[in-house]
């Protein structure tokens, strides 16, 4: 059994255990459920994970959509995204992680680093008050917007063409430490895909190598990283399962029905809306104080 099959077997077991834990929490606290805007929530889960599979990412689009549709309280947005998108991203990993051959040690160490970072980050962020979350999301939107612009124009690390499929020595250490940080940032709503792609290219890996690393990292870090949010009740309980269902459908459509789209114009629109959304978060945080 090769490393890809071992990882996917472990991911399958983890995802099933995670779903059981999540469903039990949702059922146990059903009297505490907040009202849910059904249509916006279903569309957000479907579209965000559809575009995530095609490479745009789900966190930036979801944060923006939640804010503008007022379908999730600001302080619940990080937890809701991490809790709800763990399963759709696991489906992405199952579909894509076997398609690229990569050095097993590089893949495993970077995934483990992201998991540890997520658990540490979630244990801190799940205790933040609403204004601190708003400020963090505001900065996250700006950071993601800048990264997406760099990706669109091929600036900096996004313009680098790597050829390696293995990391060793100092480069491996840098990759592991950096992915730990990216795992922690995932918990506040900074998507891992684009920064991880930039990291891999900077370290000399080919662009293809980035996909199993970033998809595997997200798929493995999100279930354990989401547990503190679930325990603290810092997610939209009623919206979680609808987001999972519509998110999985979005992933499957992107994987098997529509495999490519002209996404450049749409990505520019998303970036502009993200900057506007960032300003709204900062304004609400200031008003909340």
pLDDT in tens, 51-101: 888 777 788 789 889 988 999 998 899 899 999 999 999 998 888 777 767
Residue 88 corresponds to which tokens in the numbers above?
A: 């759709």
Residues 148-178: b if buried by 16+ CB within 10 A, e if exposed: bebbeeeeebbeeebebbebeeebbeebbeb
Q: Examine the pLDDT at 266 and tell me if it is beyond 70.
A: no
Residue showing tokens 């922690």: 184
Q: Examine the pLDDT at 259 and tell me if it is beyond 60.
A: no
Phi, psi of 164, deg, nearest 5:
-75, 155
Segment 187-201 mean pLDDT: 77
Please answer whether residues 69 and 239 qualify as being in contact, where contact means their C-beta atoms are separated by less than 8 angstroms.
no
- The angle formed by the CA atoms of residues 254, 194 and 40, to the nearest 5 degrees, is 50
Instruction: Determine the structural domain holding residue 20 and report its residue range.
Output: 3-288
Q: Examine the pLDDT at 238 and tell me if it is beyond 70.
A: yes
Tens of pLDDT, residues 144-174: 778 778 877 877 666 666 678 889 999 999 9
Phi, psi of 205, deg, nearest 5:
-75, 150
pLDDT of residue 147: 77
Q: Examine the pLDDT at 185 and tell me if it is beyond 70.
A: yes
Segment 208-218 mean pLDDT: 84
Identify the burial level of 85 via C-beta atoms within 10 angstroms of its C-beta, where 0-12 means exposed, 13-18 middle and 19 or more buried: buried
What integer best gives the mean pLDDT of the chain?
84
Closest alpha carbon to 152 in 205, 198, 191 = 198
Please answer whether residues 176 and 109 qualify as being in contact, where contact means their C-beta atoms are separated by less than 8 angstroms.
yes
**Domain total of the chain:** 1
Residue 208 corresponds to which tokens in the numbers above?
A: 């293809």
Segment 18-28 mean pLDDT: 95
Q: Is the pTM of this model over 0.85?
A: no
Task: Compute the radius of gyration of the chain from its Cα atoms.
Answer: 18
Tens of pLDDT, residues 128-147: 776 777 787 788 778 777 87
pLDDT of residue 247: 96
Please answer whether residues 152 and 272 qualify as being in contact, where contact means their C-beta atoms are separated by less than 8 angstroms.
no
Q: Examine the pLDDT at 264 and tell me if it is beyond 80.
A: no
Q: Examine the pLDDT at 261 and tell me if it is beyond 60.
A: no
Measured distance CA(33)–CA(258) in Å, rounded:
35
């Amino acid at each position: 059994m090769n490393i890809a099959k071992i990882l996917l077997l472990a991911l399958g077991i983890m995802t099933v255990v995670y779903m059981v834990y999540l469903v039990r929490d949702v059922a146990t606290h059903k009297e505490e459920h907040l009202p849910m805007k059904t249509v916006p929530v279903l569309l957000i889960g479907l579209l965000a994970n559809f575009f995530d599979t095609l490479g745009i990412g789900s966190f930036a689009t979801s944060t923006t959509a939640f804010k503008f549709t007022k379908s999730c309280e600001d302080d619940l947005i990080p937890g809701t995204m991490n809790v709800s998108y763990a399963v759709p991203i696991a489906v992405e990993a199952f579909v894509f992680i076997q398609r690229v051959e990569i050095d097993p040690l590089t893949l495993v160490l970077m995934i483990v680093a992201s998991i540890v970072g997520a658990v540490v980050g979630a244990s801190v962020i799940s205790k933040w008050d609403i204004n601190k979350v708003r400020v963090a999301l505001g900065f996250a939107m700006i950071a993601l917007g800048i990264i997406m612009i760099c990706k669109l124009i091929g600036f900096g690390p996004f313009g680098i063409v790597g050829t390696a499929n293995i990391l060793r020595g100092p480069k491996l250490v840098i990759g592991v430490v950096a992915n730990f940080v990216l795992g922690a940032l995932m918990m506040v709503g900074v998507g891992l895909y684009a920064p991880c792609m930039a990291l891999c290219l900077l370290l000399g890996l080919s662009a293809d190598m980035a996909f199993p690393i970033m998809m595997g990292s997200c798929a493995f870090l999100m279930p354990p990283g989401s547990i503190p949010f679930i325990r603290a009740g810092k997610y939209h309980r009623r919206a979680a399962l609808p987001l999972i269902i519509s998110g999985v459908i979005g992933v499957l459509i992107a994987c098997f029905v529509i495999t490519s789209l002209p996404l450049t114009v749409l990505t520019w629109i998303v970036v502009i809306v993200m900057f506007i959304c960032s300003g709204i978060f900062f304004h609400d945080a200031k008003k909340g104080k």
